[in-house]
Structure formats: structure tokens, C-alpha cells
Structure 1
């Protein structure tokens, strides 16, 4: 005797060898002996074992599901009764098995209620299920059509419109993703390669920008609706004539400087910071905008400002205007020793916006060492400020004329061509601005701490930099505390610190008091966001460095060894790993050969072909250098 039974979601047949109440031993049609549960057996038959399943499958294939569903009673039923009704006679074993197989294989039509027992699906539920099945069929056909197009190098319009989302933040439930993913797997290509093969990547910078915008600016670069505040009218006008020093493209001019002679032979230095906090009210739409962006984003050839252009225009320290400012006045002796500090909330006349490109040819290390007698704006003030800056650097314990020179890099992109220029870190203009900003940030941090008002500080210890709301030493800069307060047009931390300072100066209750959870939340969000913005800037700069190689026809660059397999490409802000380097010492210069550049995947393959010599390597990792680079537009600091 043979049995027809269920196992592992399908039906099988076997010849009975032995049986007991709970189980049977059978020989399958393939000659394998198996133990099966008696509860899984549907029926017994005596016909030839090898012919039974093909006969059942043929009979089942001829059973129309819709007709079978109509034959079923509304109540629960057993397959035996349905088989008798359907066939119109006492069914054979094969006919009964065919009914079982058809019921089992159509769960949309028939709900299983127990072994061999079913209940027909309600008409509305069946219609909905069939419609869903038809929809899935049409969707799968659409997916297959898109896959064919993608594999042929064509980009379907539906996928083109979603391409950046598919590459950066895919929804794996969409048809577009399923088609794109299937095509990529069948072609054995990374998704980005497939997108490029199908003509979906117009440029790598556009691709990188699209991913960044999806993550941080999903509504676009615009600011939406807002009302511009009124400029404060009751501020006293300072008698000083201040000037700023910035790159040519800087629009958010946060800081300016002035110097006056005092009757006692000392000088009064003015550090004047733009004061948008005088116009942006608490809980205002503009404040919400500021706290949503948290910082200006810089990248080669462009930037996304933290504040709207027309608001920046109101508060930037613009040449020829009397601008609202938070000023720190420092009385300085002829020996360049700061002896007194005073804060003022005022208007300051900005006499000039000096620009690096125009000024550097006259104000540099060579002209300071040997004055050629050429006059230029604010010459005497700039020379004195440079001397004061060197004194401040010595005061911090960071003056070291023997220290290897580090370079800063400026990127300019015009019509797809990149220009990478170097600027020596610690050059007179940079040192002048950076030392005065370090002085202001450290002193304002000290004042907030003495007033027991929290702020946002940068701290460094054991080589690690972090944000904190309490003053802690910054060993890299050599100061007891370092608050960020000199870039309120470009960083939310500086804006909030400015508000806290304004409250301190006016003797008012600060927006945030010690232990305020909201201040911690803003600090956390800023730290995460600012790091992400810098990461995006690094990725964009990395691409333009790769483009520079091919643009300039560079096939044999040189590099300086740092450690292990890490080198720094000479003349570029680019560090890469090169496997298989010979035994080298830090500072060794090596000759490289470019093997392969893949701009799309942002990869470069280099090979070391020789050692050129040794230089004293500038320190790359020991300290946080960002504030000392000055407040130049487009730089981290």
C-alpha cells in the first residue's frame, strides 16, 4: 500500500514499510527510506507509486480555481466532500489528491482550517487578493522592462527622476530600487557604476552634492519665508575706524580690527565682531533657520550660508558703513602686554575691507623684514598688529620660528577647472587675524566663566578636541579656555555665545543658565553637523585633487612619508595610503607614479618608485590648527 502525504510544504508519495499509531516508515519513489508522521498522511492508494504524482498534477492543472471556489459551501468543509461534489462521483485517490493539491496551493481562495479542512475566502477578500496579485504581476513586468533598459545602458525616466535618492537614501520597497538593484546585480556592477553607464551621472561634484543635499538640505538651499529684523538704532557710535582682512570671496565678514593711541602711552586694540544677535530674536523664524543649519557649509567653488544673504548684508562688517558690533577693547602696553579689557555693544565704522590678494604683495614677511618704502592702506596699524600678534603667540607659548612651515590650501573652481593655491600658515596676515581672534575667544570665554554663564567651548587634552559648555584648557592653542565667539554670521556656537556675552554685559538673565538641557542639545547637534559639513568639504576637495592630476597632466607626483603606509602628496591637501612602501622615516620624501585615477569612485592608485631625501615634517596630527588659520572664508576655522 502507498501513501500520499505532506512534507516540507509539498506533497510526496511513498510505499508503506511499517506503521504504528503515530508514524509510518515508507520507501519514497526515489528509493529512500523515511519516517513520516501519520498526521501528515492524506490518503492511501494502491496504484503504481511512480505514476501517481504525475497523474495528480495533471488532474489538478485542469481544475479551474474560480469554479472550484464557487462549488465550495460557505461553511468550513473537508476536501473529501468537495472532491465528491466536484467530480460528481466517489473520487478516486488521484482525484481526491488533486483536490487537496489545488486547495493547498491557492491560499487566496481557500483558508486552511486544519488537516484537510478549508473555508472559502469571502468574495470581497478574494477580489482584493486577486487585484493585488495582478498588481504585483504588472509591477514585476515593469521591473523587468526597466532592467532590460538599464542593462542596455539606457536610464528609464522614472529611475532618472529618483536616481540620487536610489544612490544615497534608497527605499528598498520601491519598484525603481528593485529594478536598479536587480540590474546592478545581473551586471555585477556597483550602483554608482551602473548609474554612470546609463548616463545618470552628469558630474561627480553634482553627485556628491546631491547626496549631501538629501541628507542635510532635503528642502533645498532656500530659506523659505521670513521677515528681516530692524537694525538697532540706539547704539552708540565708536570713534574708531576699523578694517577687516578677508579673502576676495568673503561675504560674511565677521571681524574687524582697530587701534588707538592712549594718553598714557598705551594703545587700545579694538576687536569688533558682527552682531546678528541684536536682530535675530528668541524663538523667531530666523533663529529656527539658524539652529536648523548650524553653520555655513564650505566646498570648492561655492558655499551654503547659515543665514540668508539679505540678513548677512544687514550685519556683515561692510566697508563704508556703521555696523552693529560686539567689541572687545584691549589696552596694550608698549611691551605688547594686555593690561585691561572692556566690552561694548556699539556701532563701528568700517573704513575698509582689506583683501588678501591685494594686500599680500605689500604686507608679507619680506616687506616686514625690509620695508621697501611702499605705502598701502593701514600700513602702520598692520605693522603694529603683526608685532602684537607675535607677542601674543609667544605669550601662549606657541612661538617657534624653527617649526616646519605648514600650508593652507585654497580651492577655486571656474568652468570645471580647479585652481589650488597655497598659503603659508603663520604668514603675517593670517597670524595677525588669528592671534587677535584667539585673544578674543579666550578672554570672552574667561569672562563668561567668571560670570558663571555657560557657553560653547572647544577644549583639547591628550590630543583630542571636543566641545563643552564649561571652560577647559585647549592645549593645542596654549590657552586656559577657548570659546567660539568671533564668527556669529557663520556658526551657531558663536551666535549663541554672543547672546550669552550680551546678557553678561547688560547684566540681564542669559538665555541659557548652567545645566540647561537645551544648550547641551544644541552643542551636540552642532558638533555632529559641523563634523559632517567638514567631511563633505573634504570629499569635494578630494575629488578636485584627483581632477587636478589629470587637468595638469601630473603622472609623477612627490610625497612626504607620515607613518606606516600613509603619505601626504606634496602641494595638495591630500593624504593617501600606498601599500608596499619600503622602510621609511617620517619626513622622507618619495617619488610616486600614478597608476590609475578613478574620479567616479574617487580612487587613486599610486606606486612608490624611489626615495628623494628627507625634510623635517610639519606636524599633521598633534594639535587642532583650525582657529589659528584665521577666520578666512571657506576654511574650517
Structure 2
């Protein structure tokens, strides 16, 4: 005697060795013996042999149309498989015929729902229709995925991918056919998704690839402003007094948000009055206005080589920037200094300032540098004022105890991108121009921060202790700068923290109730959000500077270059703010000059390989 039985959802056949009523000892066609429950048996048969029986049943099952069986079976109630087999074959079904029907019913779960051993129920027509549609959709998706894989393997981009590229690159849905095809080909080719898509011609610009990733994450609605007429929103006070000074700014050639300008007015007995004039956008942008909310959302201007995303709309920047030959609303601090440049007193006011000139680094440095200062005479229309500012800056640096802090040994890098070519220039930090601007900014931010604190008005301060910089609403020493308190106020068009602090300062100078208290939620939220955004924007700027460094190496066809050991196996390449780890670097002391080979530059991953060649003579 042989049996056809079900075990763990699988149909099997075996020869009965012993029948114990509730259980059977059986032997499978391949010789394995087992004990099965009698209730598991669906059919008993004498012939043919178990292996022949299974072959016959499988072949017959393949010829059975599940749709026809569904048409033939009882629709509303459960039915037994052997009853359906009798109806189908027109006679009491043979064992192999009954087994074939069972196998077919079991293999078509969308047509037939299993209700028990050998018992089924037909799927409702609507459910069957939906299931068949899903099955067909899945079949088409499998075919589509296979076609995608074939095209991608040949580095050809399927047309259907084009409108989906942004999501595939930055926010993939891993359940889609397109992603599954990409993933399959990436695994086979050992390429990353961006690298594969680049090979398929889907990333025409590696620069845009990095920028678009940043924009999608942090500017999902685009970089345009929601204020249709930004210039028309401004409400500057009409009664501001006119400052009787000749003011000028000092900025990089690409700067459009000119926040600060300076003036020097001679007084009696060799003393001076130095003016530090800061643009006043808060004078015309009230709290809670559309422009204010836009600035509060962006929090800072985003800088990257060759471009920037401004915190304020262009029309607002144009209105408040301290542009040449313009009369601009400003907050001014006047510092009276003795002939030895000791500070005798300060005075702050809100006024209009006429800007006589916008001096630019590249043109000014020819006239204002270490050599012209050593000669004691600056051949420049603002030479006397610049010389006075330089002496004042040196005095303030000494007061802070920072005259010999080594900053003038460091190098700053400027990136200029034009027509997709990059120029990277070096400037030694601590040049006369840098020192004048930085010292005057440190002074005004320190002094105005003190005035806010002394006036009991909340502000956002930066402090440093133990090497860690933090922001808070309470003044605290900044060890790195050597000052008792420090508040960012000098860049209100570029940083929202400065914008907030300027608002508080305006209230102090006007003797009005300030917009923010130390415990106000808006102040705390703005400070927290600014810290997060400023770090993100800074990381993005550094990432794009790294990108342009690699582009410069390719542009200049540089494969061998000098480098300097920083520590252990970390080196800095010559002429670039670019560092690399060289695992093969022999042990050498810091500042050792070496020669390295550059290869395998990847503009998508922003990686490259550096190999040590030799040590260079000092």
C-alpha cells in the first residue's frame, strides 16, 4: 500500500511499512523512513509506484487550468477536492487524477483558499480580479527590471530613470523596480549608485551632484524667497541724523553683503575718533515680518566657491549694503583714542552714513602691506586713515595679549571660479588688511556685547573655555580671543544671530523694550537652530572647497606635488587646503617636506590616493 500525504505544506508519497491506525511507518522513494500521522494521508493507492505516481500527478496538474477549475467549482461554500476532481473528469477520479487536482488547487492560492486538509473555497470574483491584476503587475515588473538591468549593465540609462534621478541619487525608495535594478547592477559591477549613474551619463556635472544633494536636504522648496516684493517691505526710520564722517569699507572683491565700514576723524592734540559703522537691516525689518521669518529660517548665508545662498533677498541686501557713494542706515560705534591709541571713551548711535569708497583686498594690498607700513607712508587716498587704523589694531591686539599668537604664520585660501575653472590663491593670515578688519570687529563685538550685558538686555554670546566654543544667552570669557565677553553683532546681513543682537542693541540705544528676553522661546530656538545650521553650512562649504581642490589638481594636470607632514601619516599638500593620509609614509617629524604622487581622484566620492615618493631637502 502507498500513500499520498501532506506534510508542512508539501505533498509527498511513500510506501506503507506498518499501519498503526493513528500513525503509519512509511518509506519514501529515496529510502528514508519516517513516522507520519494517519490524518495527514490524503489518498491511498496500490499502483503505480510512488515515484511514478508523483510524476503522473505533477504532469496532469500542469495541464489543469486554475481559471477553468475556478469556473467549475462551488462558489459560495467550501468543497472537497475529490468532489471537484469527479466533476472535472466526469467520473470518480483515479488516485493520480485526484492528486493532480489537489496539487493544482494548492498551487493556486489566489483562486482557491485552503480551508482544511483536502478542502478549499473559491476566491470571490472581485478578490480574484484584484489578485490577478497584482500578479500581472508583478510579472511586468520582473520583465521591466530585467530590461533595466540589461541596459544599466551596458552603461545605458533607461529613459524611465530620467524623471526619477533626483530621488534615485539622494532619496531612493528601495522598494521600486528602478532601485532594485540599480542595486543589482551595482553589486555586479562593484560600483556605487552615483558612479554607475555617472557612467550611464546621468550626472553631467559632478559639481551639481554635490550642490543638489545639499539643496534637496536643506532647501527642499528651492533657494528663492517667498517675499514677492522684498524691497517694498522695508520700513527705515526717516529721522536718522547724518554722520559727519568719510567712511570706507574693506572687503574681498566678491563681497556683496558689505556689513561694515570705518572712518577716522582727527581730534585735538594728535587724538582720533575711529568710527565702526555696521549696516542696519533690523531698522527696516520688524520682528515677525515676512522678511524676518525668511531670515530666521535660513539663519545664515551659505558660502561655497563660486557661489552663495544669501540669508536675505538680493533687493534687501542692495538696500542695506554699505555701497560706495551711498547714504546708508547704520549703527555706529565711535571710539575716541589718545595719540598713543589708548581708548578714552566710546559712543554708539543710530544714523545715516555716507560711504565714500568700497576698498577691495586685491587692489588695496598693493598699497597697504608690511613694506609700505615699514616705510611709514601709504600712497593711497585713505592712507592716513589706514595707518591710524593699523596702529589702533596693533594696540588692541596687544591689549588682548595676542600679539604673538602665531596666526600670521597660517595661510588662508581664496577660491575663484569662472567658466568652470578654479583659481586657488594663498594669503598669509595676519596681513595688515586682515589685522585691521579683524581687530575692529573683535572690538565692536566685544564692546557692544558688554553694553548689552551692562544694560540687562539679553543677547547671544560666544564663549570659549577649555578649547570648546559654545553659544549662550549669558556673557562669558572667550579665551581664544582674550576678551571678557563676545557677541556676534557685526554681520547682520549674513548671520541671524548678529541680526538678533543688533535688534537688542537698537532697543538699548533707543531706550525701548527689547524684542527678546533671556528666557524667551524665540531667542533660545534661534540660538539652537543657528548653531545646527551654521555647522551644516560650514561642512558643506568645506566639502565644496575639497571638491574644487580636486578639480584644480585635474585642471592643472598635477600628479606629483610637494607636501608637508602634519603628524604621523597625515600630510598637507602644497598650495591647497587639502590633507591626505599616506599609509606608506615613513616615520617623520612634523613640518618635514616630502614629495607625493596623486592618483585615483574621484569627484563623486571626493577621494584621492596619495603615495609617498621621497623626502625633500628643507
TM band (smaller chain): over 0.9
- Please give the residue correspondences for 1:589-628 in structure 2 after superposition, counting only pairs within 5 Å: 589-612=593-616
Residue matched to 2:491? 487
Structure 2 CA distance, aligned partners of 1:346 and 1:23? 103
Secondary structure at 1:557's aligned position in 2?
strand
Secondary structure at 2:594's aligned position in 1?
strand
Structure 2 CA distance, aligned partners of 1:466 and 1:456? 10
Cα offset for 1:608?
A: 1.5
Residue matched to 2:67? 66
Residue matched to 1:54? 55
Structure 2 CA distance, aligned partners of 1:300 and 1:249? 11
Structure 1 CA distance, aligned partners of 2:60 and 2:435? 91
Structure 2 CA distance, aligned partners of 1:548 and 1:423? 18
Secondary structure at 1:235's aligned position in 2?
coil
Q: 1:293 aligns with which of 274, 295, 298?
A: 298
Secondary structure at 2:349's aligned position in 1?
strand
**Higher mean C-alpha deviation, range 379-388 or range 35-44:** 35-44
Residue matched to 2:417? 413
Aligned length: 613
Q: 1:369 aligns with which of 362, 370, 374?
A: 374
Cα offset for 1:250?
A: 0.9
Q: Deviations over 1:375-434 (max 9, x none)?
A: 212111111111111111111121117666101100111222211101110000011101
Find out whether 1:393 has 2:397 as its counterpart.
yes
Structure 1 residues 131, 514: CA separation in 2 closer, same or farther (over 3 Å shift)?
Answer: same
Mapped contact 1:452–1:514 kept (Cα < 8 A)? no
Residue matched to 1:220? 222
Query: Normalised by the size of structure 1, how large is the TM-score?
Result: 0.90
Secondary structure at 1:161's aligned position in 2?
helix
Residue matched to 1:239? 244
Cα offset for 1:194?
A: 1.1
Residue matched to 1:356? 361
Residue matched to 2:576? 572
Cα offset for 1:2?
A: 3.9
Cα offset for 1:443?
A: 2.1
Structure 2 CA distance, aligned partners of 1:211 and 1:323? 38
Aligned-residue CA RMSD in angstroms?
Answer: 2.5
Structure 2 CA distance, aligned partners of 1:558 and 1:39? 83
Find out whether 1:379 has 2:367 as its counterpart.
no
- Please give the residue correspondences for 1:219-368 in structure 2 after superposition, counting only pairs within 5 Å: 219-228=221-230, 229-232=233-236, 233-263=238-268, 266-368=271-373
Structure 1 CA distance, aligned partners of 2:577 and 2:219? 27
Secondary structure at 1:162's aligned position in 2?
helix
Structure 2 CA distance, aligned partners of 1:569 and 1:159? 40
Find out whether 1:136 has 2:141 as its counterpart.
no
Residue matched to 1:86? 88
Residue matched to 1:506? 510
Structure 1 residues 594, 3: CA separation in 2 closer, same or farther (over 3 Å shift)?
Answer: same
Cα offset for 1:17?
A: 5.1
Cα offset for 1:9?
A: 4.5
Structure 1 residues 317, 123: CA separation in 2 closer, same or farther (over 3 Å shift)?
Answer: same
Cα offset for 1:613?
A: 5.2
Cα offset for 1:22?
A: 7.6
Q: Deviations over 1:259-285 (max 9, x none)?
A: 223457643322211111122232222
Larger relative contact order (Cα-Cα within 8 Å, sequence gap ≥ 6): 1
Structure 2 CA distance, aligned partners of 1:539 and 1:609? 27
Cα offset for 1:171?
A: 1.9
Structure 2 CA distance, aligned partners of 1:198 and 1:461? 52
Structure 1 CA distance, aligned partners of 2:97 and 2:547? 70
Structure 2 CA distance, aligned partners of 1:167 and 1:420? 30
Structure 1 residues 121, 606: CA separation in 2 closer, same or farther (over 3 Å shift)?
Answer: same
Mapped contact 1:226–1:285 kept (Cα < 8 A)? no
Cα offset for 1:73?
A: 2.7
Cα offset for 1:557?
A: 1.2
Mapped contact 1:155–1:200 kept (Cα < 8 A)? yes
Mapped contact 2:264–2:388 kept (Cα < 8 A)? no
Structure 1 residues 546, 72: CA separation in 2 closer, same or farther (over 3 Å shift)?
Answer: same
Residue matched to 1:617? none
Secondary structure at 1:11's aligned position in 2?
strand
Secondary structure at 1:222's aligned position in 2?
coil
Structure 1 residues 445, 128: CA separation in 2 closer, same or farther (over 3 Å shift)?
Answer: same
- Please give the residue correspondences for 1:104-143 in structure 2 after superposition, counting only pairs within 5 Å: 104-143=106-145
Cα offset for 1:361?
A: 0.1
Structure 2 CA distance, aligned partners of 1:336 and 1:177? 68
Mapped contact 2:568–2:587 kept (Cα < 8 A)? no
Residue matched to 2:78? 76
Residue matched to 1:167? 169
Unaligned stretches of 5+ residues in structure 1 = 615-637
Query: Normalised by the size of structure 2, how large is the TM-score?
Result: 0.92
Cα offset for 1:86?
A: 3.2
Structure 2 CA distance, aligned partners of 1:480 and 1:394? 15
Cα offset for 1:255?
A: 0.9
Residue matched to 1:201? 203
Mapped contact 2:269–2:339 kept (Cα < 8 A)? no
Residue matched to 1:456? 460
Unaligned stretches of 5+ residues in structure 2 = none
Mapped contact 1:164–1:207 kept (Cα < 8 A)? no
Residue matched to 2:102? 100
